[in-house]
Structure 1
Amino acid sequence: MKVQEGLFLVAIFYLAYTQLVKGQPRKDCQTRCGDVAVEYPFGTSPGCYYQGDDSFNLTCNEKELFFGNMPVINISLSGQLRVRLVRSKVCYDSQGKQTDYMDRKTSLGNLTLSEHNKFTVVGCNSYAFLRTSGVEKYSTGCISLCDSVPSKKGSCSGEGCCQTSVPRGSYFVRVKPHSFDNHTTVHLFNPCTYAFLVEDGKFDFYALEDLNNLRYVTTFPVVLDWSIGNETCEQVVGRNICGGNSTCFNSTRGTGYNCKCLEGFEGNPYLPNGCQDINECISNRHNCSEPSTCENMRGSFTCNCPSGYRKDSPNSCTRKVRPEYFRWTQIFLGTTIGFSVILLGIICVQQKIRHQKDTELRQKFFEQNGGGMLIERVSGAGPSNVDVKIFTEEGMKEATNGYDESRILGQGGQGTVYKGILPDNSIVAIKKARLGDCSQVEQFINEVLVLSQINHRNVVKLLGCCLETEVPLLVYEFITNGTLFDHLHGSMFDSSLTWEHRLRIAIEIAGTLAYLHSSASIPIIHRDIKTANILLDENLIAKVADFGASRLIPMDKEQLTTMVQGTLGYLDPEYYNTGLLNEKSDVYSFGVVLMELLSGQKALCFERPQCSKHLVSCFASATKENRLHEIIDGQVMNEDNQREIQEAARIANKCTRLTGEERPRMKEVAAELEALKVKTTKHKWSDQYPETGEIEHLLGVQILSTQDDTSSRGYDSIKNVAISDIEAGR
């Protein structure tokens, strides 16, 4: 009797084991928690969720479903989980004293952040940082500025509210809010900075209510991606958990797989019999036209014709022709031909009208995309040397394979850049401005105007543009070797640039800026010099790119007032505080780039204990304390080039002085870097290394003093910002 009981228990254990292996949940599992349906592979108890991953184990607490400590909104079987995340905030009293602070660290288990979310900051004179970990570390930030309550409703474009995209694939998220002036100037209507993640399209900014208390909302919907395991469909053939009448597809987040029902079936594809046949005839999902009748089939349907009718298409029937009807058929055919001739005439007229409308539409797009603005600016500048090829809309679509996502080279504030292949097989880069943003159109026209007046080997060459499309396009030469940022900090390229490479690249950038400031027909201020805007060709020759933020300086002015624009970490503090733009703003940004070349660190860096703040502050303190070697890239410095690197660091410190008057001009910087190149090629730090006076005599310029007091001139990126709190970001 005991033997029989033992065999019975073994059989029960075997059935339960095979059930879990195949991914089949128990039949007594909870299927609903409050208003949320609990769908397998998720579950609320052992044996009810996919046993290969505890991330699918949810908690039902008082009729509310939780993933960890996050309330669940709904579960999508296509690979998405919607939850609610708590927002972060920092608040101050009227004297600027912090009264409340809350930053959020969230671990998502084996689930990852979806790309269908936005990082959002609400507040005046506020900024926040988002740091994520996943396939790779990613950091970004968002700045919101205003002095009074914005009047626009629903606009989150930087005035009181800003938003930026986030990448997919992150399983750890941290949000940190900050304020530039502790809300002392705006405390009456905005005492706090709020920062949070929210599903794209689920937050509408209303300044009157949101700046005061965010309408008392503390959580926001966020989309998470999930998949089964970490193998592809090809790797789990025969052992995936997809049920009958379903198929496996690789997850878009880059790891694992998901299941979906075959066409003509619906239900839960993760259950053995979860996908059931759809009866199209009952559910009215067929397109059979009378007098045909619908007949359901497994996974599809068919349209049947009644007696005396025949099929003339898959879903319609016509009456069979009998001999006595032949004469009437001839009459019908003659009438049909006559009507066809009339119809053909009508079509020809419609085609002509449509062609006229298309011409008017192209003209509308031409004006909408700034064609009139371009003509006005070119004609208003006197004799013009603009010579830009005009491309057609069809040509652009063919070159980018219909703007396929695989052709995207990069995305930024001014738009998206695609790789294009022209009919002559030449490869170009096609820049597509953002749709419906008037400020982007002005930047697009500005880039055409600036690039058309530059003829320099180290500036990306403009090939043409397209204005007859709904979205304006720029076409310029394709640079094959990525950006300087990629080579210094990215994973796509070997980052072992030699000292000679880095010095030559710095000389080329400095020479280009000196040309733009002093030798161009109209002086040009780039305004956004950074390593991400320096391209490298196959020979590692530097090419300055992205002139969308540039400004032309009239010959009778040395500076002009503009809206502050640039990139955090590279932005000239004097320009940021005053709005007065001159060539010394580019000198500051170049100094930061030179520091990146020397250290291999990002402008806002946190990768070394010696470099826990902005590079400008790091270099200033390291120079003063005689420990420059601690922050220089180990692949660069050696016994033979220490003096050259120290000289380059001194030049970088001089370029990043707090005020523009204390910085050298760009052509002076270029001359000093050329002097370093002479030392590299001719002297190799021998005993015959020429003194400073000799270099001055050779180049006809005054070398900057090596005794500069960098400690009193150091600058921590943005006024009143605690740089130690800033996280690494591109």
Structure 2
Amino acid sequence: MNMVHGLFLLAILILASTKLVMGQPSLTCQTKCGNVSIEFPFGISTGCYYAGHDSFSLTCNETTNELFSGNLQVINISLSGELRFLKSTSYSCYNSEGLTEGTSYNTRLSNFTLSSKNRFTAVGCNTYAFMTTTYGDRNYSTGCLSICDSIPKENGLCSGEGCCHTSVPKSSKRFIISSRRFDREASVKDFNPCFYAFLVEEGMFSFFPSQDLQNLRNVTEFPVVLDWSIGGQTCQQVGNTSICGQNSECTDSTTRTGYNCKCKAGYNGNPYLENGCQDIDECSTSSPIHRHNCSGSSTCENTVGHFLCNCPSGYNLNATDNSCMLKGRPEYYGWTQIFLGTTVGFLAILLVFSCVQQKIKNRKNTELRKHFFEQNGGGMLRQRLSGAGPSNVDVKIFTEEGMKEATNGYEESRILGQGGQGTVYKGILPDSSVVAIKKARLGDSSQVEQFINEVLVLSQINHRNVVKLLGCCLETEVPLLVYEFINSGTLYDRLHGSISDSSLTWEHRLRIAVEIAGTLAYLHSSASIPIIHRDVKTANILLDENLTAKVADFGASRLIPMDKEQLTTMVQGTLGYLDPEYYNTGLLNEKSDVYSFGVVLMELLTGQKALCFEKLQQSKHLVNYFASAMKEKRLHEVIDGQVLNESNQREIQEASRIAVECTRLMGEERPRMKEVAVQLEALRVTESKQLWSDQYNEPEGNEHLVGVEMLSARGDTSTTGYDSIKNVTRLHIEAGR
């Protein structure tokens, strides 16, 4: 059993590492090496570069501050698909007795290819040089010839006298360069003892005969341009799976297979990052490329992706040069009777045309809203809600204009969070009520079904610890869900994130655990149709101002028919919380939520994350780490020091036992969620009585706590005190709201 458990954890760690590398880079990634900037998809450490090919992984020599890709020294990376590196020259040196020394090089470029911007160059008198390149399974050769019997007089001219150059074939992944002399007479050896051949970026080498024919060997390296791209498919082939971020577009590489990304017009930044392309403020930027062209008295107004030129009152904008012209100027209006008659006639025609066009536009908008409604699952939602019972008809339908106004045009400052199912905005409705608006991230029909599933699941739930669904909007391109606003962040934020709270006491944590357990027990046992959440984690537990838990994000949930105990589904969930039995078999049942809850309970007890890659190899997974500590009787080492004290050691010990039982490898060995809720509520009641007893120091009060001792021996419910606690707890769970 331990071996199976270990193999499963190893598989999870491998998957987690893969996901980290393929995803967006961490904020801690190194962005410079010496004077060279490093931007995604390139990076130095794991998780900082795109894992489509090893060539995006770079190495920084901290001693010399030099950046390398393999054995190539990188000096510049362009997000447009170019990389520059330094390459040494090939040379041959002669004296009167013949060849004294020389070198040539054979270079492999990994997944990069040569750019057509390079020039193959040879320097020397009576010299020939050649280069062989490899493209696919074929070899190509090119070269040039340089002849002279004295030092050329003209600088900067490489035309065959002392210097020659030629173009090179692009898309080559390997090249071999060497130089030779075909005339060994001593007539040129005094001023030209050595002969050189090298690749160099066009425009980066200028020939100075008197200097280069004798001392070019002192210039050891020249810049060479390489092309790079993402993958080996076109934009059409990768579709919406490209790594291009928002406000960017995919473009097929013109120099090799694969594609590159670029920001759309009006945006600037790194198009390979999720939010890398940001709007350019043309009105305030100092860049001559992106600055506005408003002239005269016109003023610039920045808009998303563009800008407007505005004129003061009494002036009109001249579209020719974006300047302002005074109304009534003859050259602007042309005050002649012919022009006036023509204008009146044109305006009449334009008015009729506008009316017809407006009707057509209104009809198209209506059809478009209907199309979006069906595309976003409106028909599916109508069909399912119509058969789900009378309690499910109270779902408000919001308009597109209302959602835009509530989120101030989906302003970035209104974003509350982003996840696998979509983006959540803070919205303010016309009645000044604050809501949370979830903008679903849909790309295919299965995601549409998840969106409709969340509406359906939430419409079935009436519980005070479940986030309340207020309505939805389906007439937009991307569907929206409107929830009640929970203003104190998530449990993850409180334990690990930006609003980590040291005042989150054991009493708070135990109550939150009881509320979550009671909610899941209600979903499993007391809802009209049993519901399995399938993505229980601290990031999906919201907290209100009183630190009351609200279970959220039902996009992955499933309704279980009354005649079935489990479903076979595609495995879905979050690493660290995912039930290993469900992961291996694809069989989903309520014990999958029990496992996830056990991990959440461990987080509440320890204050540590479910998966932590900064830890030692054997303790990255909290479940394994916690279970080992429990077994080896060193639980005090892992419990959060902010909650552990002498008065609550028994409660923490019992809660730890419950957490371990919830995370057993086999689902049949785990308790049901209702049993977990009863035991945790019993702990809470026990703790409350203990606090009361300690406060008032009444010895006889302790007699009522005897039954709690039976919690350490599961299955024996003969004690009267325990039965009364269990009955009270069951009523709380089944009552719902």
Q: Which amino acid aligns with 2:722?
A: E
Alignment equivalent of 1:600, drawn from 607, 615, 621? 607
Counterpart for residue 490 of structure 1: 497
User: Residue 408 of structure 2: SS of its match in structure 1?
Assistant: coil
Whether the 8 Å contact between 1:461 and 1:477 is mirrored in structure 2 is: yes
Moved more, 656-665 or 602-611: 602-611
1:546 paired with 2:549, answer: no
Moved more, 614-623 or 403-412: 614-623
Alignment equivalent of 1:556, drawn from 563, 567, 580? 563
Whether the 8 Å contact between 2:250 and 2:261 is mirrored in structure 1 is: no
Alignment equivalent of 2:286, drawn from 243, 246, 262? 262
Counterpart for residue 544 of structure 2: 537
User: Residue 658 of structure 1: SS of its match in structure 2?
Assistant: coil
Counterpart for residue 238 of structure 2: 154
Q: Which amino acid aligns with 1:665?
A: R
Counterpart for residue 699 of structure 1: 725
Whether the 8 Å contact between 1:118 and 1:165 is mirrored in structure 2 is: no
Q: TM-score, length-normalised on structure 2?
A: 0.55
Counterpart for residue 454 of structure 2: 447
Q: 2: CA distance between counterparts of 1:491 and 1:321? A: 64
User: Residue 595 of structure 2: SS of its match in structure 1?
Assistant: helix
Q: 1: CA distance between counterparts of 2:319 and 2:237? A: 56
Alignment equivalent of 2:357, drawn from 340, 350, 353? 350
Whether the 8 Å contact between 2:597 and 2:662 is mirrored in structure 1 is: yes
User: Residue 641 of structure 1: SS of its match in structure 2?
Assistant: helix
Q: Which amino acid aligns with 2:675?
A: E
1:584 paired with 2:591, answer: yes
User: Residue 646 of structure 2: SS of its match in structure 1?
Assistant: coil
Report % sequence identity. 67
Counterpart for residue 386 of structure 2: 379
User: Residue 543 of structure 1: SS of its match in structure 2?
Assistant: strand
Whether the 8 Å contact between 2:540 and 2:553 is mirrored in structure 1 is: yes
Cα displacement (A) at 1:357: 0.7
Cα displacement (A) at 1:314: 5.2
- Higher Cα Rg, which structure: 2
Alignment equivalent of 1:432, drawn from 433, 439, 442? 439
What does 1:86-105 align with in structure 2 at a 5 Å threshold?
A: none
Are the structure 2 counterparts of residues 343 and 119 from structure 1 closer, same or farther at C-alpha, using a change threshold of 3 Å?
A: closer
Cα displacement (A) at 1:428: 1.1
Whether the 8 Å contact between 1:118 and 1:200 is mirrored in structure 2 is: no
Cα displacement (A) at 1:200: 9.6
Counterpart for residue 615 of structure 1: 622
Counterpart for residue 467 of structure 2: 460
Whether the 8 Å contact between 1:58 and 1:68 is mirrored in structure 2 is: no
Deviations 1:691-725 (A, max 9, x none): 3234432234799xxxxxxxxxxxxxxxxxxxxxx
1:71 paired with 2:74, answer: yes
Whether the 8 Å contact between 1:66 and 1:72 is mirrored in structure 2 is: no
1:469 paired with 2:476, answer: yes
What does 1:713-728 align with in structure 2 at a 5 Å threshold?
A: none
Tell me, which stretches of 5 or more residues in structure 2 are unaligned?
1-33, 38-60, 86-108, 112-227, 263-275, 279-283, 297-317, 711-718, 730-737
Whether the 8 Å contact between 1:605 and 1:611 is mirrored in structure 2 is: no
Deviations 1:408-441 (A, max 9, x none): 1111110111111112222111111125333322
Alignment equivalent of 1:674, drawn from 660, 664, 681? 681
Whether the 8 Å contact between 1:465 and 1:475 is mirrored in structure 2 is: yes
Whether the 8 Å contact between 1:528 and 1:550 is mirrored in structure 2 is: yes
Deviations 1:155-187 (A, max 9, x none): 796xxxx97999xxxxxxxxxxxxxxxxxxxxx
Cα displacement (A) at 1:633: 0.5
Q: 1: CA distance between counterparts of 2:110 and 2:652? A: 48
Whether the 8 Å contact between 2:36 and 2:76 is mirrored in structure 1 is: no
Cα displacement (A) at 1:642: 0.4
What does 1:7-22 align with in structure 2 at a 5 Å threshold?
A: none
Deviations 1:460-503 (A, max 9, x none): 11111110001111111111111101111113232441000000
Are the structure 2 counterparts of residues 558 and 265 from structure 1 closer, same or farther at C-alpha, using a change threshold of 3 Å?
A: closer
Cα displacement (A) at 1:378: 2.1
Q: 2: CA distance between counterparts of 1:580 and 1:470? A: 34
Are the structure 2 counterparts of residues 678 and 565 from structure 1 closer, same or farther at C-alpha, using a change threshold of 3 Å?
A: same
Are the structure 2 counterparts of residues 369 and 320 from structure 1 closer, same or farther at C-alpha, using a change threshold of 3 Å?
A: closer
Counterpart for residue 522 of structure 2: 515
Counterpart for residue 571 of structure 1: 578
1:396 paired with 2:403, answer: yes
What does 1:48-197 align with in structure 2 at a 5 Å threshold?
A: 71-74=74-77, 154=238
What does 1:184-223 align with in structure 2 at a 5 Å threshold?
A: none
Q: Which amino acid aligns with 2:725?
A: L
Cα displacement (A) at 1:678: 1.1
Q: TM-score, length-normalised on structure 1?
A: 0.56
Are the structure 2 counterparts of residues 352 and 516 from structure 1 closer, same or farther at C-alpha, using a change threshold of 3 Å?
A: same
Moved more, 312-321 or 541-550: 312-321
User: Residue 640 of structure 1: SS of its match in structure 2?
Assistant: helix
Whether the 8 Å contact between 2:396 and 2:472 is mirrored in structure 1 is: yes
Q: Which amino acid aligns with 1:632?
A: I
Q: 1: CA distance between counterparts of 2:620 and 2:598? A: 16
User: Residue 683 of structure 1: SS of its match in structure 2?
Assistant: helix
Cα displacement (A) at 1:341: 2.0
Whether the 8 Å contact between 1:464 and 1:474 is mirrored in structure 2 is: yes
Cα displacement (A) at 1:566: 0.3
Q: 2: CA distance between counterparts of 1:561 and 1:417? A: 30
Counterpart for residue 416 of structure 2: 409
Are the structure 2 counterparts of residues 315 and 700 from structure 1 closer, same or farther at C-alpha, using a change threshold of 3 Å?
A: closer
Q: How many residues align?
A: 466
What does 1:234-383 align with in structure 2 at a 5 Å threshold?
A: 262=286, 264=288, 329-381=336-388, 383=390
Whether the 8 Å contact between 1:416 and 1:433 is mirrored in structure 2 is: yes
Tell me, which stretches of 5 or more residues in structure 1 are unaligned?
1-39, 44-53, 88-116, 123-151, 167-198, 205-214, 224-251, 255-259, 267-277, 289-310, 704-730
Are the structure 2 counterparts of residues 383 and 164 from structure 1 closer, same or farther at C-alpha, using a change threshold of 3 Å?
A: farther
Q: 2: CA distance between counterparts of 1:370 and 1:253? A: 31
User: Residue 371 of structure 2: SS of its match in structure 1?
Assistant: helix
Counterpart for residue 249 of structure 1: none
Q: Which amino acid aligns with 1:480?
A: N
Deviations 1:69-120 (A, max 9, x none): 763554589xx99789999xxxxxxxxxxxxxxxxxxxxxxxxxxxxx9999
Deviations 1:330-376 (A, max 9, x none): 24423432332232122111111110110000000001111111112
Q: Which amino acid aligns with 2:444?
A: D
Q: 2: CA distance between counterparts of 1:450 and 1:76? A: 44
